[in-house]
Structure 1
């Protein structure tokens, strides 16, 4: 890491805390030890540091250091995804990765499977009911509540940089979305390409598109 993460719990504490949550939520015979998580915590923290350092919000980056609280719901949802994904990359048992995925789903209503490769820079804003499937993601991705990325006829979308999904927005199927696009609240993009700098409003039958020049204001690029 290039800077210290101001974390409410240190690396050992995060591993212990997550293990305790997993064992309380899933009291099966396969008890999770903190040491099973510890190998991935440092790398997941480095990934979190890189991600949070690009978010222009004092709760994520204070101007000098990234800030992470295990009691900040959006941050902890992002953290659980990163931890599960990092363990998956390291070849951890699928049962352990699945427990972290299901813990995130239970705590935050977020369906972001550990095999899905979200970009290195992303932001989830109170993501209750958000489902992020196996699309092709790019950096500076934002998803609010009840958003969806998924397939149609087993084809997933390709998403450009600086894509923002407003509440209830979804992108499904054979879509290629350009850079600096926004999908308006309650809008659906289905099997359609969008050029860069597009604001999309509506659904496949009533869609309106507008050119937009102003980038999403919450990033430190």
Structure 2
């Protein structure tokens, strides 16, 4: 995969300097980052290659959405392998600081998903299907300890929320400003906000998911 305007060593140094700037505690993280960097890059490569609007086999550390994904995949890779949890936490906070997203490293995210704008996205430890689309200020949250289940191909447009005992069927497209709270959707549908907090379900007019992904 092409690393735009840098190489592996340059990306490693860039990341080390970011962490040193935001967390000046003297911890030497270069060795641990070097150990897991290729895993993070391999996972973000797979994701980028699945997103239709992104150039395949090309990663740009100055592309906010791609860098958001990279920081998550890197932190999650370290955590899954039993690596340095303090470094995982720093990468989580770095992502939150730079990109405005609350995406904890323990959350199991899809192998391929797309972030339109990361600012204000908050994701709980829920179940996420493949080919997820997230836009700004979208929230997935628990209610009384119960987390939602999102099927494959779910789209959360800006300012949406999926909360509690909710199951979104595959290819449920949640329209802007809609809150799905302790409710289910059948899938293959647009979801709009109805009266008194209810949901209005309508069939999709075309396969919108193919606009986002190389399916």
**Is the TM value for this pair above 0.5?**
yes
The answer to which structure has the higher helix fraction is 2
Aligned to 1:117: 108
Contact kept? 1:124, 1:143, Cα under 8 Å: yes
The equivalent position to 2:50 in structure 1, one of 27, 32, 54, is: 54
Normalised to the residue count of structure 1, the TM-score between the two structures is 0.91
Give the one of 162, 166, 182 matched to 1:171: 162
Q: Retained in 1: the 8 A contact 2:171–2:189?
A: yes
Query: 2-side partners of 1:32 and 1:103: how far apart?
Result: 16
Secondary structure, in 3 states, of the residue corresponding to 1:53? helix
Q: What residue in structure 2 maps to residue 207 of structure 1?
A: 199
Check 1:172–1:87 CA distance in 2 against 1; reply closer, same or farther (3 A cut): same
Deviates more, 1:95-104 or 1:10-19: 10-19
Cα deviation, 1:35-79, whole Å, max 9, x if unaligned, reads 21011111111111111111111xx22xxx422101111111111
Paired with 2:25 and 2:34, the residues of 1 have a C-alpha distance of: 21
> 1:39-188 counterparts in 2 under 5 A?
39-57=35-53, 60-61=54-55, 65-188=56-179
Query: Unaligned 5+ residue runs, structure 2?
Result: none
| Aligned residue among 182, 198, 220 for 2:214 | 220
Q: Which moved more, 1:40-49 or 1:106-115?
A: 40-49
Q: How many residues align?
A: 211
Name the CA distance, whole Å, in 1 between partners of 2:110 and 2:87: 22
Q: Give structure 1 stretches of 5+ with no counterpart.
A: none
CA distance in 1, matches of 2:205, 2:148: 23
How far apart in 1 are the matches of 2:87 and 2:80? 12
Q: Cα offset for 1:25?
A: 0.3
Moved more, 12-21 or 188-197: 12-21
C-alpha RMSD over aligned residues: 1.4
Q: Whole-Å Cα distance in 1 between the matches of residues 3 and 23 of structure 2?
A: 26
TM-score, reference length from structure 2: 0.93
Equivalent residue number for residue 32 of structure 1: 28
